[in-house]
Amino acid sequence: MKIYGGIEAGGTKFVCMLGTDPDHVLAEERFPTTTPAETLGRAIEFFQRAAQGHKLIAIGIGSFGPVDLHAESPTYGYITTTPKPGWAQTDLCGMLHQALQVPIAFDTDVNAAAFGEHTWLPENRALDPLLYLTVGTGIGLGAIVNGQPLHGLLHPEAGHMLLPHDRTVDPFEGDCPFHGDCWEGLASGPAVEKRWNRRGETLPPDHPAWQLEARYIAYAVANLIYAFSPQRIVLGGGVMQQAGLLDRVRHEVQRIINGYLQSDRITRDIDQLIVAPGLGNRSGVLGAIALAIQTAR
Ligand code: ADP
Ligand code: ZN
């Protein structure tokens, strides 16, 4: 039987999957991200073992970044300038291709997640642009435009957008090493933890942290609505697990847009515009499988 591989290469963990679609997953494995040699070794070993008796056609990777997505570049398929120790200039695609000898599709983790949500959920197929945002250890944007992941000059880095920051309300200076109080610097999981001296998981839903968090996310989402005119925005990542946060973001987006955009999807049915991931925590790895299928066509 023909099967495909998917890898969600995250900064804290790798998820590997073998299958053909969300309802036909043959094998799945999660393990922590350590050194490139050890982590990629485990991934290679997983595919060699799990694919026995099947025909492995291609593998898709959705990776943490920054990554090089330009097919003509000498460092195509690399993780490039990451501050993650040991991982800068890692030839992810090359190492996997050399070991497994199948075509490799490559994109950012968030583009893969966006592609997964777009490909596998029938209700999303016709919704374009579709944006996928993760609010977790970092903040990232993946975008499907005209059915394909958006690359451009590098790839979207919307987590570093600049937003209004009222220091009388929120004196926290932000923790982005490049920009201080960019969106990620103000609203990532680690930023929440630094501001309140507690992990987000331990802050109750009625804590003031969440109204502030909702406001920053909503500023960014409103900017993205103005810029992309998306038909769907999927909000994923660990921080969005916080009970009630998604609804707070929806209300804040309506408040910020203030009636300017006359679409029912904003003024009335915003719960149809801004949604949680339909694939749960598998959007990225299932999207990587969708990328593998596309590359083999
Ligand atoms: P990563 O971005 O590394 O893939 P996650 O998306 O799981 O990982 O995000 C991890 C971040 O999410 C951590 O900073 C953690 O504190 C935060 N987080 C996890 N669960 C919750 C929760 N229920 N409420 C708020 N923050 C949370
Ligand atoms: Zn930044």
What proportion of the chain, given as a percentage, has pLDDT over 90?
A: 99
**pLDDT tens, residue by residue, 83-138:** 899 999 999 999 999 999 999 999 999 999 999 999 999 999 999 999 999 999 99
Where do the domains of the chain lie, and which CATH numbers do they carry?
A: 2-108+281-296 (3.30.420.40), 122-277 (3.30.420.40)
Mean of the per-residue pLDDT values of the chain: 97
pTM of the model: 0.97
> For residue 139, which ligand has an atom nearest its CA?
1
Cα 187 to ligand 2 centroid, rounded to whole Å: 11
Q: Which residue's CA is minimally distant from atom 7 of ligand 1?
A: 238
Distance 157 CA to ligand 1 centre (A): 19
CA of 138 to the centre of ligand 1 (A): 9
Contact status, residue 139 vs residue 157, Cβ threshold 8 Å: no
C-alpha to C-alpha distance for 260 and 209, rounded to whole angstroms? 28
pLDDT at 1: 86
User: 183: CA distance to ligand 2 center in Å?
Assistant: 7
pLDDT digits (tens, 9 = 90+) for 205-261: 999 999 999 999 999 999 999 999 999 999 999 999 999 999 999 999 999 999 999
Average pLDDT over residues 161-180: 98
CA 84 – CA 35 distance, rounded (Å) = 10
CA distance 11 to 138: 10
What residue owns the CA closest to ligand 1's atom 13? 189
Nearest bound ligand to the CA of residue 239: 1
Per-residue pLDDT, averaged over 274-285, amounts to: 98
Question: What is the 146 CA–ligand 1 centroid distance (Å)?
Answer: 31
The residue nearest atom 27 of ligand 1, judged by CA position, is: 239
> Whose C-alpha lies nearest to ligand 1, atom 20?
238
Q: Which atom of ligand 1 is nearest to the CA of 138?
A: 2
Q: Which residues surround ligand 2, an ion (CB under 5 A)?
A: 160, 176, 178-179, 182
**Is residue 292 within 8 Å of 2, Cβ to Cβ?**
no
pLDDT confidence of residue 181: 98
Whole-angstrom Cα distance, residue 94 to residue 104?
A: 9
- Residues contacting ligand 1 via CB (< 6 Å): 10-12, 134, 136-138, 189-190, 193, 199-201, 237-239, 241-242
Question: Distance (Å, rounded) from C-alpha 83 to C-alpha 104?
Answer: 25
- Nearest-angstrom CA–CA distance, 255 and 132: 22
Alpha-carbon distance values, 265 to 86, 141, 145, 273 (Å): 45, 21, 19, 6
